[in-house]
Structure 1
Amino acid sequence: MVSSRNIKILTISLGTILLFSNCKKIEPGRDGELFLPDGFSSVVVIDSIPETVRHMDVTEDNILYAKLRNSKEDGTIAAIQDTDGNGEANIIQKFGENNEPQRWSYATAMRIYNGYIYFSSDLVVYRQKLTPGSLVPEGEVEVVLTDDHEHGKHEHIAKPVAFDGKGNMYVPFGAPSNACQDPKRTPGIPGMDPCPQLEDHGGIWKFDANKLGQTQKDGVKYATGIRSVVAMSWNPADDELYVLMHGRDDLLRLWPDKYSPWESALLPSEEFMKVTEGSNFGWPYCYYDQIKGKKVLAPEYGGDGEIIGRCSEFEDPIIGFPGHWAPNDLVFYQGDQFPKRYKNGAFIAFHGSTNRSPYPQSGYFIGFVPFKDGKPSGDVEVFADGFAGVDPLVSVRDAIYRPMGIAFGPDGDMYISDSVKGKIWKVTFNGDRNNFGQEQLLAMEDRKKLSHIRTPDEIKDNLISGGLVGGPKAYQTYCSACHQRDGKGAPGRFPPLTGTDWVTGDKERLINVVLRGMEGSIKVGDEVYNGMMPQHGFLSDKEIAEVLTFIRTNFGNEASAIDESEVAESREKLQQSGETGPIQVQTE
């Protein structure tokens, strides 16, 4: 049962949020303006939710349920309601026992199906029966599906859900690696062939939506060759499943002899897939190149960016979006409030890149793809923009907001959530539905010229001027994709390189992290980070010394240099001890 001690009610009025449990007042911002097509307007439903928001859904009586990413003592779900009709929430109620195994902050799903809210943590899909007339469901929280695989630091562990209306639930089991290498993310190492991870990962499984206590063996493998999915939806217009895959990373870091920084920033594609039973999209053997318009062989399997090879055997996406845009939600519009051209089309939340350095980060907008007769009928449009608040975007931490979730209310209004501060917007159409066309979209076409959306110029948009050597060159090649060009890292995934004893403290520990890699979670400041640090033992002692000296004396750090001999000594100790696997850490 839901415990009353985990419920806190907030009332919003006259520009303040009053938390009754401690009478803390918060002054929310009221600027809800996003860049939208002519005739649309936005308002801020709630200025911030400290736990931040992932996916959302809305009931027929206009209650918005939001899955909280970083669950705290208040609960794991927020029920949000606007009872006075001004667009701004005046009731927020957090609930849910905080006992979910959210070790890596991948809590994602929130979908309403058959009178239940279905939601997920890292490893578990839950459901709870909605109670008519009540914000908080009163029934038991039931476990529908548990990911019972052993998990150390598992990549791509999010559990979004989709339903086909016939009693089936679809859940991805993301690939536990980037490209099926062993050891993972190591330059020059070929991928395992055949990839054993495809047996129970790297695909979509179908389950009985109404059966409790399931594990993966209770489901049916529906499709395979799909690396990582956060955005997934059933399209009622053609009665088919659609997903957007996060493409693989590290083309430059792992294969600097085959890919330029520009190619690594743009490739591979984020694939928009129509998934039917038996589909195979070719991960890890292949990736889609949206510039060439074809699927090519991955470098781990002998590819060079041109060879097609076995990739002709696999399915292509319906659209290939630019690399690293991070599509994190997908919803097909079924309402009637928006102009007719949006009916049955796909809205996509592009969360935005972290690893496009030395080029500007890209994405950070809500896109729209028109559909006709079950197929895309046009290119992606910029529907909502202005989240990042800065252009060019050098580091992911410079983004004020990042669009994460999309939901539609029964009246056709659109809700957009943000993963940085937990802000939620409501988008409404107030124009003339019968006279909406290209003229109203012109301003949004101009948004495509900004650096966070357009294809970067290989020379002019390179943020690093002049040739780099030594530590700065190694940092740019091997480190900046995760830790960012400015060393600030990426929230929740890759820790910053400043203000942490991990960088400025024990030299031998830092050297060992580079030599061995690290898995698990660490805390820097008040934030926990869960990204995997690959081993970089392939670098020479001199290169490691140079790059570590660089980070210990830059980004505001003032620590001593590291000598080549210190790296050699640490490497020899590891070889003698036989400790070659990644360092395991866990922040409670």
Structure 2
Amino acid sequence: MKKILTLCLLAPSLIFAQEIKVPAGFHVSEIGKELGATRHLAVSKQGDVYAKLSKLKDGKGIVLLKDKDKDGVYEEQAMFGNYTGTGIAIQEDYFYASSNKGVFRYALNANGEVADWNKFETIVDGLPDHGRDNAKSFTFDQDRKNIYVTIGSWNDPCRVPGTGKGMNPCAILDSAGGVWRFDAQKLNQGFADGTRFATGLKNAVGITWNNSTKSMFAMAHGRGQFHDFYPQYYTPKQSQELPAEAMYEFKKAGDDAGWPYIYYDHIQKKKIVAPEYGGDGKKTGGEKALDPVVAFPAHMGPNDILFYTGNSFPSRYKNGAFIAFHGQSAELKKGYFVAFVPFKNGKPSGPWEIFADNFSGQDLAKPTGPIEHRPCGLAQGPDGSLFVCDDLNGSIWRISFKK
């Protein structure tokens, strides 16, 4: 079927976005704006940028940007796919995208482009979708034999509805609150064809496979609302500052991050029993649960993670992790930024830091207007540049380094 390409010449005023603050030597250009609710990103070997939309725009759910003459201006824009979602990836001869219920693939042609926007195959469909924390992010292992799909929980603390008591055991863990593994080469799978690989994750929008460590890393969204049913143990302020948003490494099937029975308190630096399961804010537990690789302040909403493998950034960034934070911390009065964690030999080699800031356009300690952008997705370009998108006002930025 013949493809129809929508042309969109971006004005020069859109190319430079000086308001985004990055370290010295880095440069930021805004390559697209008002694209819709851009969630996750993928960049082809040819440099084409794809973004998945969580809300349809003009009836479509995937955006494609092309810089045909390689001058830094993405002068061609097109849209395809009639479903919403979050996940997106390019692997070998296929382009992949997810809805909130499944994952699909499109064949690529000899030029590395989607051969037919209207023709796709189903990898898996019919995954649980209860309307909350329903993004189906995904990643592949180093052999591309398996695809790992997030299934988030629609019940924040796994409480019995209308009460402060936890389900015991938490029945939700049978079908959500983790990451499921499916055969990446098999078509038309359903939920029953998958196996639970990682559990104890309330919701992990940001997941990735680290080919160096041969393990999966996930950014866990922490639960909320401690004080509503347990004011004797938690103040409203503590509900704002707990629990940690955490990075976990899953090395084998069955690894457990502990939700909903425990949470990680980054202030006490301990795994704490959740109040729904007999905790009081101090009682420790989860001896068999994973410890976080890195713990971040509460409620910052980590929505993507990317291990940098390019060569254009300074050497300290090599193999380190970039994280896109979609929310803000009441503790720090900061948020809506891209963080960086240096890694060496597969482990963090220093504290986390803010890499790209001021997407919100506000001093969050004393805001004077609405939030402008919320970072959500990350991707690495073939030249080693870093792409960031936001799902609030639909901008995409390219971050490059020049000595």
TM over 0.5: yes
Q: In the TM superposition, what is the alpha-carbon distance from 1:221 to its structure 2 partner?
A: 1.2
Matches within 5 A, 1:434-513: none
Determine the structure 2 residue equivalent to 1:422.
394
Looking at structure 2, the residues matched to 28 and 163 of structure 1 have their Cα atoms a distance apart, in angstroms, of 34
Indicate whether 1:123 and 2:101 are aligned: yes
Match of 1:317 in 2: 292
CA 1:254 to 1:82, structure 2 compared with 1: closer, same or farther past 3 Å?
Answer: farther
Q: Paired residue for 2:80?
A: 95
1:84 to 59, 69, 74: 69
Measured in 2, the distance between the counterparts of 1:397 and 1:183 equals 36
1:34 and 2:24 aligned: no
Q: Greater share of helix residues, 1 or 2?
A: 1
Alignment of structure 1 residues 342-381 onto 2, 5 Å? 342-353=317-328, 356=330, 362-381=334-353
Within 1, Cα distance between the matches of 2:34 and 2:333?
24
Distance 1:10 1:242 in 2: 38
2:324–2:339 contact (8 Å) kept in structure 1: yes
Indicate if the aligned counterparts of 1:360 and 1:392 stay in contact, CA closer than 8 A. no
Question: Structure 2 residue aligned with 1:159, among 128, 136, 148?
Answer: 136
- Describe the superposition over 1:201-253 as per-residue Cα deviations: whole angstroms up to 9, x where unpaired: 11111111111111121112112111101001011121110000000011123
**How far did 1:135 drift?**
4.6
Any conservation in 1 of the 2:16–2:28 contact (CA below 8 Å)? no
Which residue in the other structure is 1:448 paired with? none
**Gap runs ≥5 in structure 2:** none
Give the length in aligned residue pairs.
Answer: 400
**Structure 2 SS opposite 1:253:** coil
Listed one character per residue, the Cα deviations across residues 517-574 of structure 1 (whole Å, up to 9, x for unaligned) are xxxxxxxxxxxxxxxxxxxxxxxxxxxxxxxxxxxxxxxxxxxxxxxxxxxxxxxxxx
1:219 equivalent in alignment to 2:194: yes
In the TM superposition, 1:23-422 aligns within 5 A as: 28=14, 30-49=16-35, 51-96=36-81, 98=82, 100=83, 102=84, 107-133=85-111, 135-138=113-116, 140-149=119-128, 151=129, 153-166=130-143, 167-183=145-161, 186=163, 189-277=164-252, 278-309=254-285, 311-353=286-328, 356=330, 362-392=334-364, 398-422=370-394
Q: Secondary structure at the match of 1:12?
A: coil
Is the contact between residue 44 and residue 88 of structure 1 (CA under 8 Å) also seen in structure 2?
Answer: no
Structure 1 Cα separation of the partners of residues 198 and 262 of structure 2: 16
Preserved contact between residue 65 and residue 77 of structure 1 (Cα < 8 Å): yes
Q: Residues 362 and 369 of structure 2 are in contact (CA less than 8 Å); yes or no, is this contact kept in structure 1? A: no
The answer on whether the counterparts of 1:226 and 1:283 sit within 8 Å (CA) in structure 2 is yes
Within 1, Cα distance between the matches of 2:267 and 2:370?
A: 28
Normalising by structure 1, we get a TM-score of: 0.65
Closer, same or farther: CA 360–237 of 1 in aligned 2, 3 Å: closer
CA drift at 1:429 = 0.5
Write the distance in 2 (CA, Å) between the matches of 1:148 and 1:372. 36
Change (3 A) 1:30 1:204: same
Structure 1's 119 and 196: CA in aligned 2 closer, same or farther, altered over 3 A? Answer: same
Gapped regions of structure 1 (runs ≥ 5): 16-26, 432-588
Rg larger for? 1
Is the Cα–Cα contact under 8 Å of residues 30 and 47 in structure 1 kept in the other structure? Answer: no
Shift of 1:396: 12
Are 1:324 and 1:362, in contact at CA under 8 Å, matched by a contact in 2?
no
Residue 13 to residue 154, structure 1, CA distance change in 2 (3 Å): closer
Does the 8 Å contact 1:393/1:399 carry over to 2? no
Shift of 1:200: 1.8
Q: Which has the higher contact order (CA 8 A, sep 6+)?
A: 2
For 1:11, what is the secondary structure of its paired residue?
A: coil
Residues 41, 249 of structure 1: CA spacing in aligned structure 2 closer, same or farther, 3 A cutoff? same
- Asked if the contact 1:64–1:81 (Cα under 8 Å) also holds between the matched residues in 2, the reply is yes
CA distance in 2, matches of 1:121, 1:423: 21
CA contact (8 A) 1:387 1:403 kept: yes
Tell me how far apart the structure 1 counterparts of residues 302 and 96 of structure 2 sit (CA, whole Å): 21
Judge conservation of contact 1:57–1:66 (CA < 8 Å) in 2: yes
Matches of 2:57 and 2:47, distance apart in 1? 25
CA distance in 2, matches of 1:379, 1:284: 27
- Is contact 2:15-2:73 (8 Å) kept? no
Q: Is the 8 A contact 1:160 1:171 kept in 2?
A: yes
Query: Cα RMSD (Å) of the superposition?
Result: 2.2
Q: Percent identity?
A: 38
Counterpart CA distance in 2 for 1:408 and 1:323 is 27
